[in-house]
Amino acid sequence: MSRDAAGPATDDFTDAVVAVVLRLERGEVMAYGEIAAEAGHPGAARAVGNVLRTVPGLPWWRVVAANGRLVPGHEHRHAELLRAEGVRVSKGRVVA
């Protein structure tokens, strides 16, 4: 585990997830499981959610469930941020 002088302790998984999420461009959406696989840890979708929750400054709104569902309890804000980037959202889900 490494520690940046300006931030919290991190590990390789966290660093890999952060790198993937930061590559997402405006209007691009990816599923938690896709992020985990891209970060080299297939099957770690829930852990991706933990990273998004604990690492400040990440564009968390660009990450959705595999079925397109938005973050439970934050659907309104999630939809608002995605729509601002041109993503179509309807009934709590990203519309392809």
Question: pLDDT per residue over 51-74, tens digit each?
Answer: 999 999 999 999 999 999 998 888
Which CATH number covers residue 10? 1.10.10.10
CB 62 within 8 A of CB 30: yes
Domain span at residue 73 reads 2-94
Per DSSP, what are the bridge partners of residue 10? 2
Domain count, the chain: 1
Residues 39, 16: Cα–Cα separation, whole Å:
5
Q: Which ranges of 1-96 does DSSP label H, i.e. alpha helix?
A: 12-23, 32-38, 45-54, 75-84
Q: With left for phi above 0 and alpha for psi between -120 and 50, is residue 14 left, alpha or beta?
A: alpha
Kindly report the pTM of this predicted structure: 0.85
Question: pLDDT per residue over 11-39, tens digit each?
Answer: 899 999 999 999 999 999 999 999 999 99
φ, ψ at 6 (rounded to 5°): -100, 0
